[in-house]
Structure 1
């Protein structure tokens, strides 16, 4: 084959690929979209996703289904999405823990190759205590924990999950020694916290909001540097421990190599859903701050978080036993 013919066929090949991608994007979506949530029903990610799915379905004109695939620190659900066709019909809604897992587990997918679609919201974690604990605020907690090293127990949803990492950061910032109690999920830890079997726990604001309203748990502090509008009387931990700052985020991802036109259509639909006044008000009531980062900005945040957690986990010798 002559060089001229080779170049002509190569150009034709690129043209056909480009045309196919634009055609698929122009007719997208033409069938139901599935959003995978890699956590159990009822958690923060699940609540947000179900609110969005209804809005997206009306906007896109197709069903938008939510499927919970919990397990293995969100790896099971993420793996299903990562190995799906890069056509926009299977996407993932997850939280910042997706940038932690590569440094703790041997994963069946390459996290860095996933396609960021949109960062939806940011949310501080909330430190809550049992009503049976011998302290009622942050200063009392720190004083008590220093007087009785290791006596204060703090539950989490698993080693390496954000509540666990927030607890590690709290120990480092305050100089106290806590007893970590690791659970397989947040449901069991919350039950034990209400029952007084453990003293403390970190979690998202939405996951504890009902217990706070029912006065079965006591909110001690939020992990952002400012107070949360949904809980204005609850101090930020940084008011007592300057510099303490740990924000969770929730965002959408698509499989590796998902074409940009499809990513853009998903982003635009989610943006329109987030712009809905009733949805925005509901998210704010849950203590969530709408960030709505576009794919390019979210990609930068995603890459920076991968670097941050790699160092944090190495520096604190955090390992899955």
Structure 2
């Protein structure tokens, strides 16, 4: 071929295109030309976030707030998909069995540790790789405003001296708030009459109506009634006092070494590559610092509580050990 004649016949734009095309194989590689997947390759398509509970609840709200704020820090969108059933077992089971490529993430809750113990789920926490915790809320002991106890010490002393006379409502047998009250019994020697309800709200309604003496649900579920002067919170099962209830002591301050509650966080199948977890972990950290996200949780009286993958894994293991013992003591272990 006469290359001189060929090149002279090309326009300037055609010449540039021809030269670029010669090196297109290397230029097209997002990881620098060697074809191997790198950290920058993820995510290359939208991510699905499984919410194991119905739309409209607290877990769903946390997920959607996370997805909205994550748009600012991830190159691909996150789509929230509600997979309900089995008290969270259906959605978390699907998430545990997903392809471990980071494109199907699960918003796990504390029930990840309790459902397997109760024989209600085939997965275990070991089937997941924790990414980051987003939210945590402790159990709290709340009574009617006209109750005779004004401190957690008075409440516990009465429950010790009058075994079974204090009816304490929870969100269902074996649910987190039932386990919290049981843990309090074991730590203090108090004896309660545990009354299960179909969720925290019915338990709070029963307390307002005088059908029970206390509830062990989260502060978020009694905030409105406490602020209205209908209920009073005596103590929280947390490591530190809550900003919105700064006058309410922790049980640890009163000599009861107990920190227990619910949480929500991100998890992926156990074989997911570490570089994918790193991307999601960093995104979660930035989201929990985003005002749009924190405002949503604050409006729902939910606590923002970021923990990275290592700290989240440690918290899950700690809860698993505690709940294994509690469920066995209650005779609920399957």
Same fold (TM over 0.5): yes
Could you say which structure has the larger radius of gyration?
A: 2
Q: How does 1:1-321 map to 2 (within 5 A)?
A: 22=37, 26-38=41-53, 41-43=56-58, 45-105=59-119, 107-131=121-145, 133-277=147-291, 279-280=293-294, 283=297, 286=301, 288=303, 290-293=305-308, 295-314=309-328, 316-319=329-332
1:280-307 superposed Cα distances (whole Å, 9 cap, x missing partner): 46657836253331x2443344334433
Offset of residue 218 of structure 1: 1.9
SS in 1 for 2:116: helix
Offset of residue 220 of structure 1: 1.5
1:142-187 superposed Cα distances (whole Å, 9 cap, x missing partner): 3433443212211112233221111012222332221111223223
Question: When the two structures are superposed, what TM-score results if normalisation uses the length of structure 1?
Answer: 0.79
CA gap 1:268/1:309 in 2 versus in 1, 3 angstroms? same
Offset of residue 133 of structure 1: 4.2
CA gap 1:226/1:32 in 2 versus in 1, 3 angstroms? closer
Offset of residue 231 of structure 1: 0.7
SS in 1 for 2:121: coil
Query: Does structure 1 retain, via aligned residues, the 8 Å contact 2:327–2:333?
Result: no
SS in 2 for 1:226: coil
CA gap 1:117/1:244 in 2 versus in 1, 3 angstroms? closer
Q: Which runs of 5+ in 2 are unaligned?
A: 1-33
Counterpart-to-counterpart distance in 1, 2:206 and 2:246: 27
CA gap 1:232/1:258 in 2 versus in 1, 3 angstroms? same
CA gap 1:304/1:183 in 2 versus in 1, 3 angstroms? same
CA gap 1:127/1:70 in 2 versus in 1, 3 angstroms? farther
Question: When the two structures are superposed, what TM-score results if normalisation uses the length of structure 2?
Answer: 0.76
Query: Does structure 1 retain, via aligned residues, the 8 Å contact 2:117–2:333?
Result: no
Deviation larger for 305-314 or 90-99: 305-314
Counterpart-to-counterpart distance in 2, 1:65 and 1:188: 32
Counterpart-to-counterpart distance in 2, 1:40 and 1:136: 38
Indicate the RMSD between aligned Cα atoms, in angstroms. 3.1
Query: Does structure 2 retain, via aligned residues, the 8 Å contact 1:228–1:287?
Result: no
CA gap 1:34/1:247 in 2 versus in 1, 3 angstroms? closer
CA gap 1:233/1:52 in 2 versus in 1, 3 angstroms? same
Q: How many residues are paired up?
A: 300
Counterpart-to-counterpart distance in 2, 1:73 and 1:21: 41
1:210-258 superposed Cα distances (whole Å, 9 cap, x missing partner): 3322334321110124322221011212333432333543321112322
Counterpart-to-counterpart distance in 2, 1:37 and 1:63: 19
Offset of residue 32 of structure 1: 4.8
SS in 2 for 1:22: coil
CA gap 1:248/1:180 in 2 versus in 1, 3 angstroms? same
2:11 is aligned to none
The structure in which a higher percent of residues are helix is: 1
Q: Which runs of 5+ in 1 are unaligned?
A: 1-18
